[in-house]
Amino acid sequence: MSTQVTAEMANVVEFIAIRQRIELLAKQIESTTAQKEAAESALRLDEATKLLVTLAAMASNDVQEIVIGRLTRQLVGLGIKVRSLTGKKRASKKQPAV
């Protein structure tokens, strides 16, 4: 019984550590998007997304599922900001010379 409790506690500790890493990356993404650093923002977003996949696989209760939902919404919003930085600008067509 104590081995199972210890394993569950280790899982919770690891879950919290990954959650904190994602939250830190989210803050860094906010900062880099504000500074218009698209490449750096995209790299951090990719890392945070990979960690979120790992975290989702670890979820074992309702509280963890709520955390995953919140982080997912946060990263989706940040992804929109990052894509707006990296989006291609529309080229205006040149008018033919008359």
Predicted pLDDT at 8: 83
Predicted pLDDT at 88: 54
Give residue 10's pLDDT band: very low, low, confident or very high (50, 70, 90): confident
Using a 10 angstrom Cβ sphere, with 0-12 exposed, 13-18 middle and 19 or more buried, the burial of residue 76 is exposed
- Res. 1: pLDDT tops 80: no
Tens digit of each residue's pLDDT (9 = 90 or more) over 16-62: 999 999 999 999 999 999 999 999 999 999 999 999 999 999 998 99
